[in-house]
Amino acid sequence: MSDMLPVCDPHFHLWNIHTRPNPSLGDAVEKHLPVYHGEDYRQEVATLPDTLQIASSVHVETVVGQMEGGHVLDTVSETRWVCEQMGPTESEHPFGIVGYVHLAHDSAHTDRLLERHIATADGRFRGVRMILNHHPTNPDLTWPQVEHGNFMRSDVFRESVAMLGEKSLSFDLQCNPHQLEEAARTFSDIPGTTVILDHLGHIHDGEDAAHEEIWRDGMQALSEVGHVNVKLSMLYFGCEGFHEDPRKEEIVKDRVHETIERFGPDRCMFASNYPVERVQGISLHRLYEMFDEWTAHLTPEVPRSLFHDTAARVYRMN
């Protein structure tokens, strides 16, 4: 692509586990990157390839879960802290926030907490993520403090997701491949709330061929739910080391193109998931360089959707 494209990065994180302890982030973060501030992220996006320029970003919560008896984090405090981190350069680098709310508690509680997030974010609050990744037998596919895999069957959860749409907020869906078909059934009944599937549906490296077919069937089911969008992100989870191995890169590129073909570019968006990718040894420059290379052969409107327009529209960053 010869012309510079704007980038809306719809998935990044900030943290400081020294001042805001968060065991949900895991040992790798504690060991290799305990602090990642707004200025760190701004320096990273300044390294984008010359064909790309950051226009806006969306911070996604790092709380993960709030299991009864588990470590409790102040979700509104995270929203406030992120605003403090990103606020000083907002005129040049606008940002939105996707916060955490436990949507399976009573709806009155959800309503109150959403209003606190909205007030604290002061016009920047865009939606909620409640991670649902749970597996009955594989601990690698059950995320911290996710209590069980039945949330999508909860009437309270469904009511709370519908409430998001009533408040012009979206829902970030993060679940495992075996949960995707249930997600399609659940969210097809809640058309008033925009849904964004995180991280390419969490296809997992090291599984058998049946796992990939389950992922493919689930992605097809979700693609038929017109208000579901997809983040093309956290690609190492499905193919570790793809940024260093041309053979693995080809596998990932094929999955990305398959997803774009299935959902359409106007429902897909590239996302950095930074600095999680940095912990995996993937530089932001190299990540977006690959995105750029994978889309160089497409007509110009397609990369523009993938790098900017879809995310900016879905998260109301225009």
**pLDDT > 70: percent of the chain:** 99
Could you tell me which residues are beta bridge partners of residue 283? Answer: none
Average of per-residue pLDDT values in the chain: 96
Give the pLDDT confidence score for residue 1 in this predicted structure: 40
- Could you tell me the domains of the chain? 5-314 (3.20.20.140)
Look at residues 161, 159, 132 and name the one whose alpha carbon lies nearest to residue 148.
Answer: 132
Give the pLDDT confidence score for residue 209 in this predicted structure: 95
**pLDDT > 90: percent of the chain:** 92
**HEC sequence for 248-292:** HHHHHHHHHHHHHHHHCHHHEEECCCECHHHHCCCCHHHHHHHHH
Mean pLDDT of 68-91: 93
pLDDT band at 101 (very low <50, low <70, confident <90, very high): very high
Contact between 106 and 156 under an 8 Å Cβ cutoff? The reply is yes
**Structure tokens given for 252:** 């990932």
Mean pLDDT of 250-277: 98
- Is it the case that residue 49 has pLDDT exceeding 60? yes
- Is it the case that residue 18 has pLDDT exceeding 50? yes
pLDDT in tens, 218-252: 999 999 999 999 999 999 999 999 999 999 999 99
Contact between 222 and 197 under an 8 Å Cβ cutoff? The reply is yes
Mean pLDDT of 215-220: 98
pLDDT in tens, 176-205: 999 999 999 999 999 999 999 999 999 999
Give the pLDDT confidence score for residue 310 in this predicted structure: 98
Could you tell me which residues are beta bridge partners of residue 59? Answer: 12, 97
Secondary structure tally for the chain: helices H, strands E = 12, 10
Cα gap 215→218, rounded to integer Å: 5
- Is it the case that residue 256 has pLDDT exceeding 50? yes
Tell me how far CA of residue 124 lies from CA of 15, 37, 83, 294, in angstroms. Answer: 18, 18, 8, 32
Full-model pTM: 0.96
Cα gap 183→1, rounded to integer Å: 36
Place of tokens 């990157």: 33
Residue 244's contacts (CB-CB under 8 Å, 6 or more residues apart) are: none
